[in-house]
Chain A
């Protein structure tokens, strides 16, 4: 039976969702695997949540999109709602438990946020804001739900700009399908020049990656140690 890991990442525009998806797929490709990344663009949904679909496999990948994800990452209130349809009993659901206003993720830290692949035509809904309700309904049917306070950590411990590197690290650990070293290598390829100009940036990004990995690692181990029910 072929290995196929389906990952859906969702968040507000500006949270660096597409960068996460792209680097993850790039890493899969660098490991010689079949990798497919497609950004979601279009007004098909109300609300303008940015979605990235990534699949990594050892044989040719079927459709670019999928019905249900093995890993689903949600970075905002709206993203949690928007990604419910991709969650089943086999899904590992990871969300940013801070769920506060999306922080700024500037280009210097994490590369391109605006992809040439996202058609502005489709952003007709993207700019309209829905009020935050403070009520988040997490999926009840997932195999496991993990909340990581990525925004809080980015703001208080690291730097707001590496928020999505924390998420990337978390996704890598959750998916378990690419090596973190390949991810670092993919980052170097994309941001190499910026790292040369400011070596501290590399340290910052890699620290954030590791933090994300650790957060998911802790949560998964915590689940194993306790007899905890799903949230």
Chain B
């Protein structure tokens, strides 16, 4: 039975309290990841890569070797590390902009080539760090700084479905799932399976996590949860899309 410590052992206590905004989902995702690192004991083998955007605030978050890269380029840096030293377990951590916009080409190619790395995309439907611009996962009608009158799906498309895309092109051995910070038990299950897939060396592991950004959504606590659990849930379904043995949890 896993412990739920206030702070996972793999967390770097010197950099706590952390720098994320109040109400940000990153803290929850990183807590779950911290527990998984503890339970699977991968602190010494793991390399953590963070992107540009709010994910960069996690550059000194763990007692794990970490590199902050460029926007959208965390995947290829992790790929480079793994190919050079296959003993390491690289985990790339980025937002929906870094994953599905500027980093989309790298994400797609990592999936195609069945790279033995893990990528986590924290999806909060906007570019948070730079002040709340529209992102590939912004919902139709959602107001952002570059869609001030609401996203027009006819003009700019519907929200990107990242795990669905990766699931469609990934090779056998991949693990692809979507979770949400509003269901921490499921998030932990999926996070653990994704990392186990890495340890087994089966293929590409990909996990999108629905997350919150009250600062740029300009929502209070109640509205924040409502947006995630009601609005975002309309477009982004949680569940496993690909597992190495093809037994999926919906």
Point out residues on A near B: beta carbons under 8 Å.
Answer: 116, 119-121, 123-129
Q: Give the interface SS of chain A, mostly helix, strand, loop or mixed.
A: loop
* Chain A residues with CB under 8 A of B215: 120
In the complex, the answer to whether B19 meets A124 with C-beta atoms within 8 Å is yes
B18: chain A residues within 8 A (beta carbon): 127
How many of B's residues come within 8 Å of A, CB to CB?
Answer: 14
Query: Which positions in B face A, CB cutoff 8 Å?
Result: 17-22, 54, 56-57, 128-131, 215
Minimum C-beta distance from B128 to chain A (A): 7
Indicate which residue in A121, A126, A127, A129 contacts B129 across the interface (CB closer than 8 Å): A121
Pair B19/A120 contact, Cβ less than 8 Å: no
Q: Are A120 and B17 closer than 8 Å at their CB atoms?
A: no
Q: Are A125 and B129 in contact (CB under 8 A)?
A: no
Whether B19 contacts A128 by the Cβ 8 Å rule is: yes
Please tell me if the beta carbons of A125 and B19 are within 8 angstroms of each other in the complex.
yes
Residues of chain A within 8 A (CB-CB) of B17 are 127-129
Q: Which residues of A contact B22 (CB under 8 A)?
A: 127
CB pair B21–A119 under 8 Å, yes or no, is no
> In the bound complex, what is the Cα–Cα distance between A12 and B153 (angstroms)?
40
CA separation between A128 and B60, bound complex, in Å?
Answer: 14
Q: Provide the bound-state CA to CA distance between A124 and B17, in Å.
A: 12
Contact A121 B19 (CB under 8 A): no
Residues of B within 8 A of A120 (CB): 21, 54, 128-131, 215
Pair B21/A127 contact, Cβ less than 8 Å: yes
Verify B57–A124 contact, CB threshold 8 A: yes
| Shortest beta-carbon distance from A120 to chain B in Å | 5
Output the nearest chain B residue to A48 by Cβ-Cβ distance: B19
| B131 close to A119 (CB less than 8 A) | yes
Residue numbers in B under 8 Å from A125 (CB-CB): 19
Chain A residues contacting B130 (CB-CB under 8 Å) are 119-121
Q: Could you tell me if A123 and B19 are in contact, using CB atoms closer than 8 angstroms? A: yes
Q: Which of A119, A126, A127 has the most CB of B within 10 A?
A: A127
- B122 shortest CB reach to chain A, Å: 15
Q: Which residue of B lies closest to A123 (CB)?
A: B19
Q: Which residues of A have CB within 8 Å of B131?
A: 116, 119-120
Shortest CB distance B74–A (Å): 17
Closest to A126 in B: B19
Closest chain-A Cβ to B14's Cβ sits at a distance in Å of: 11
Show 20 residue pairs from A and B whose CB-CB distance is below 8 angstroms, ordered by the A residue. Answer: A119-B130, A119-B131, A120-B21, A120-B54, A120-B128, A120-B129, A120-B130, A120-B131, A121-B130, A124-B19, A124-B56, A124-B57, A125-B19, A127-B18, A127-B19, A127-B20, A127-B21, A128-B17, A128-B19, A129-B17
Chain B: which residue is nearest A124 at the CB level? B19
A126 to B129, CA, bound (A): 13
Interchain CA distance A218-B244 in the complex, whole Å: 77
